[in-house]
Structure 1
Amino acid sequence: MTELGRPWRRALLWLALLGPFFFLSYGMANLLAERLPFVPSVVFGWEAKIPFQAWTIVPYWSIDLFYVASFFICTQRAELDMHARRLLTAQLLSVACFLLWPLRFSLERPETGGVFGWLFDVLLGFDKPFNQAPSLHIVLLVVLWVRYQQHLQGLWRTALHVWFALIGLSVLTTWQHHFIDVPTGVAVGWLCVWLWPAQGPSPPRHWQWAREPARWTLAGLYAAGSAGCAVLAWVFGGWALWLCWPALSLLLVALAYAGLGTAVFQKQEDGRLSMAASWLLAPYLLAAWANSRWWTRRAPHPQLVIDGVWLGRMPDASAPLQVPTVVDVCAELPFRGRARHYRHVPMLDLATPTPESLRRAAEAIAHGHRRGAVLVCCALGYSRSAAAVATWLCHSGHADSADAAITLLAQDCPWVALKARHRRAIEQAVQLQATNGPFKVNA
């Protein structure tokens, strides 16, 4: 029998499963840490100056109400299941961290009376000074905020932001957590959202072992960079612990080249990366954007190739676009411009595009060309977008071979960097299209 309207009964089932699991797994991690002969702390000297605010135990406790209600705001079964998987993953990852890296809160909390004191007493009845990094409060805060903000508008949404900010601050002002627990909690929270995206399958389901040696070389380089950042954070500690962020970012990029592919970046139909990918990959994305601007500083504007098709780097958000259609083949940088027609066929940087991705990019160019001028872009406009344009040149009859297309490109865009491996991929894409027949043009 199918449920009509909101999936109330399924929400109750998920709550009945995750509620007890939350307390049992959290309590088990507390109990095991309590039995250890020594549990360390990671604390900065300035944390003792954080003012203890007893009243913030109220927003601290309120996350439990938001947790329970979150199951019932979901309007569809798929949304509910996705949200429940995020909460389950949050619990599993957090408890795993508590067991592998137990930490203890080291400051002595002031005595508190009245209602606030009673709330602290109830809390401390099951919550010991362990289970620190990541703060499960912060992990859940991220997951719950993503769910609620999608259902609220106007003043209610503003009120949500304010109250959730208070919940986030309360983990410090109630003297429940050290500072390191906050950024680690944010990271785990976004990782849970990234693992269970609102659209499409989970990134691990995209895994296909890379066959190209260049991809494994890049995967090794990014993995080495990740390990280097992690080692520096471990050796120097203190503020060097922030290097864990680029370490995580580079690790995800390494996994992209090893097998996850462009799914790591979660580029959406409007050209933006998902919020989770933007947070997790922020250090890498900043470096990639700076790199693209440095290499193209002497040629920031797109170049006309032939017949209204332009080739260039990812346009700036403020750059006026003189073309109605943009075909974006960059996986790692978000498209922030304004185009009447936008198509994206994401490809990994420095890796050889697959013949299928080149075929789809050429098809997108052909569709856009029927409307007028087309800008084909990637991070630099040197390789991926050039290979896509070269494939279109062959399909459109402007060139009769991959070599001829590359030669034609080089006449107006001498900076393009297409190697023998790109030429082979272009040839295979042309053969693939010949097998599939003419492009299917949208009505």
Structure 2
Amino acid sequence: MSTSAEPPPLSASPAAEPYGRIVVRAALWLALLAPLFYSTYGFANWLASTRDHVGSIVFAWERHIPFLAWTIVPYWSINLFYGLSLLLNDSRQGVDRLAGRYLTAQVVAVSCFILFPLTATFVRPTTSGLPGLLFAVLGGFDKPFNQAPSLHIALLVIIWDHWRQRLPGPLLTLWHGWCFLIGASVLTTWQHHFIDIPTGALLGVFALWLFPARGELPFAGFRLTADAKARRLALCYALGAILALVGASIGVFYSAIALLLLWSSLAVAIVAFAYAGAGAKVFQKTADGYVSLASRILLWPYRLGARINVWAWTRKLPPVVAIADGVFLGRFPDAAEADRFGTVIDLAAELERPRYAPGRWESFGMLDLLSPPAEALDRAATAIEPARRQGTVLVCCALGFQRSATVVAEWLVASGRSHTPAQAQKQLAASGRPVHFQDEPA
């Protein structure tokens, strides 16, 4: 089994469908995106210019950033990669998802420019030659008002991710280096202030999460849940996201705190979306326990909180307890704990498999504090017996109290080791680990 934390690179060689159709699809998207960009970007610029006062967020240390005229070349190069990236796809779905990321970044950024305009405060010196020409062209449509989040940085994150999955070793190294130059150029051309960069990067990662290269879209098939408990949890998380956002707004001039609160607000809002009806797919966890890069970054504040919660509840308990015939029940393991078992059956949608965890890992993502969906419960319970024949098995969720206990109880009944659900629950309670069942096992 591969221990890579990412799916294998996408192939840029022979197309999965006729390439002509991909080119046509890309051309149609460019025909929509280009005029939409210039019209909305220009409108936001004009609207900000009509205001009596447009504020700025700039730190004293930024005045020591040198102006490097030549970096306008990498700055402008993103426009070339913007179009080429649409052409570098092996399916029309790939084109559509990349275009969806572009559109997301543009809509969110321009909305922020309209609602909360900021202005750049540095005045660039006069330049000549090629840099002077490029600055002049840029000044023809760009004004100093569209700052945070930097749309340039958001698009850079999207384009960087697109090409990194397609370029081989030496070219990939060059690509990382060139993207670093593009990112740094927003400062060295005096086009943006520092606050624009992390906010732009967060927007870019959000766009990657919203339109993943593979798998189901987070919002696909969304229906508001009828489960009253899920609705209450969604409301609690939504209120938490709002409070964090308010805190970020209040602390906007304390950049580190404000950015952390903004990041946390977005992460918790996504969790609220999961409980509202989107389900476990918002965590973008694969069957072998890994999550996408976008999910790993975007939901890091929430996962950090979840890890702290695991430690707080289980620090005085044994990490695992034996149940029957080589099957163990426990908390979410670290790499060393996972190494003790032949197979880990993981039910925690919100937590990622430890990077260097060896052995077999099977993930059946379920949301915490809710009754497991019947189909996921059956699949997870059915996976235990064949895994047990190959060695010891750890069935885990975050704490090892609820989701994992429900699945193990289901397995005990299905395998004949317990005659009734009540007997299975009693057997688990006798293990000495606090367990709680959201639903009676079938």
Q: TM-score, normalised to structure 1's length?
A: 0.90
- The CA distance in 2 between the partners of 1:372 and 1:227, in whole Å, is 47
Structure 2: which amino acid aligns with 1:75?
D
**Cα shift at 1:62:** 0.8
Would the aligned equivalents of 2:334 and 2:357 in 1 still touch at CA under 8 Å? no
Of residues 189, 195, 201, the one that matches 2:210 is 195
Aligned match of 1:436: none
Residue type of the alignment partner of 1:84: A
Q: Partner amino acid for 1:122?
A: V
1:354 corresponding residue in structure 2: 373
- The answer to whether structure 1 residue 21 and structure 2 residue 36 are counterparts is yes
What is the letter of the counterpart of residue 138 of structure 1?
Answer: I
Distance in 2 between residues matched to 1:384 and 1:99, nearest whole Å: 45
User: Which residue of structure 2 lines up, in the alignment, with residue 277 of structure 1?
Assistant: 295
Which of 199, 204, 207 is the equivalent residue of 2:222?
A: 207
RMSD, matched Cα: 2.0
1:352 partner SS:
coil
Q: Do residues 363 (structure 1) and 378 (structure 2) align? A: no
**AA of the residue aligned to 1:406:** Q
User: In 2 relative to 1, CA 16–246 (structure 1 residues): closer, same or farther, beyond 3 Å?
Assistant: same
d(CA) in 2 for partners of 1:416, 1:197: 38
2:426 aligns with one of 407, 419, 422 = 407
2:407 is aligned with 1:388: yes
Q: 1:60 aligns with which of 60, 71, 75?
A: 75
Deviates more, 1:184-193 or 1:47-56: 47-56
Q: Give how far 1:355 is off.
A: 2.8
Q: Determine the structure 2 residue equivalent to 1:241.
A: 258
Q: CA deviation at 1:205?
A: 1.6
Structure 2 residue aligned with 1:311: 329
1:361-402 alpha-carbon deviations (Å, 9 max, x no partner): 111223323433221111111111111101111111111222
Could you tell me which of 153, 168, 172 is aligned with 2:183? Answer: 168
- Equivalent residue number for residue 103 of structure 2: 88
Q: Which amino acid aligns with 1:23?
A: Y
Establish whether residue 290 from structure 1 lines up as the match of residue 282 from structure 2.
no
Query: How far 1:114 sits from its partner (Å)?
Result: 3.1
> CA offset at residue 282 of structure 1?
0.9
| Aligned residues of 2:120 and 2:192 also touching (Cα < 8 A) | yes
Looking at structure 2, the residues matched to 69 and 173 of structure 1 have their Cα atoms a distance apart, in angstroms, of: 25
How far did residue 13 of structure 1 move?
2.5
Distance 1:127 1:300, change over 3 A: farther
The DSSP-based 3-state class of the residue aligned with 1:205 is coil
Secondary structure of 2:279 counterpart: helix
CA distance in 2, matches of 1:189, 1:317: 31
- Note if 1:9 corresponds to 2:24: yes
Q: What stretches of structure 2 of length at least 5 have no aligned partner?
A: 1-15
**Mapping of 1:96-111 within 5 angstroms?**
96-111=111-126
The answer to whether the 8 A contact 1:326-1:339 is kept is no
Partner AA of 1:153 in structure 2 = P
Considering Cα pairs closer than 8 Å and 6+ residues apart, tell me whether 1 or 2 has the greater RCO.
Answer: 2
Q: How far apart are 1:228 and its partner, in Å? A: 1.9
Q: Quick one: which of 146, 163, 166 aligns to 1:148?
A: 163
Does residue 1:47 correspond to 2:65, yes or no?
Answer: no
SS state at 1:203 partner: coil
Deviations 1:139-188 (A, max 9, x none): 10111011100101211111111110111111111111112211111111
CA distance in 2, matches of 1:149, 1:44: 33
What letter corresponds to residue 391 of structure 1 in structure 2? E
Look up the match of 1:179. Answer: 194
Could you give the per-residue CA deviations for residues 85-136 of structure 1, whole angstroms, max 9, x where no partner exists? 2112222222222222222112222332333222211211111111111111
1:297 positional shift: 2.1
Q: Is the 8 A contact 2:429 2:435 kept in 1?
A: no
Q: What do the CA deviations read for 1:199-229 (whole angstroms, capped 9, x no partner)?
A: 2232112423233333233223222222222
Contact 1:206/1:263, CA 8 A, preserved across alignment: no
Summarize the alignment of residues 336-347 of structure 1 with structure 2, pairs less than 5 Å apart.
336=354, 337-347=356-366
Question: Distance in 2 between the 1:278 and 1:300 partners?
Answer: 28
- Alignment partner of 1:96: what SS? helix
Checking the alignment, whether the CA contact within 8 Å between 1:41 and 1:105 is kept in structure 2 is: yes
Q: 2:150–2:192: 8 Å Cα contact kept in structure 1?
A: yes
CA drift of 1:59 comes to 1.0
Counterparts of 1:405 and 1:36, CA distance in 2: 69
Q: How much has 1:357 moved relative to structure 2?
A: 2.3
Q: In 2, are the aligned partners of 1:402 and 1:423 still within 8 Å (CA)?
A: no
Once the two structures are TM-superposed, the CA of residue 70 in structure 1 deviates from its matched residue by 0.7
d(CA) in 1 for partners of 2:428, 2:221: 33
In the alignment, which of 198, 212, 224 is matched to residue 239 of structure 2?
Answer: 224
Please name the residue that 2:10 is paired with.
none
Provide the aligned length of Structure 1 versus Structure 2. Answer: 422
Compute the displacement of 1:339 (Å): 4.6
Determine the C-alpha separation between the residues in 2 that align with 1:187 and 1:311.
37
State whether residues 206 and 261 of structure 1, in contact with CA within 8 Å, keep that contact through their aligned partners in structure 2. no
- Looking at structure 1, the residues matched to 224 and 17 of structure 2 have their Cα atoms a distance apart, in angstroms, of 41
Deviation at 1:3, TM superposition (A): 6.1
AA aligned to 2:429 is A
Residue identity in the other structure for 1:156: L
Contact 1:325 / 1:339 at 8 angstroms: preserved in 2?
Answer: no
Task: Find the residue that maps to 2:347 and give its secondary structure.
Answer: strand
1:402 alignment partner AA: P
Shift of 1:320: 5.2
1:23-38 superposed matches below 5 A:
23-38=38-53
Distance 1:107 1:210 in 2: 50
Q: Deviations over 1:207-256 (max 9, x none)?
A: 23233333233223222222222222222322232211111111111221
Which segments of 5 or more consecutive residues in structure 1 lack a partner in the other structure?
431-443
Bigger Cα displacement from structure 2, 180-189 vs 339-348 = 339-348
Q: Secondary structure at the match of 1:103?
A: coil
Deviation string, structure 1 residues 48-78 (Cα, Å, up to 9, x no partner) = 2222222211111111111121122112222
Counterpart secondary structure, 1:238:
coil
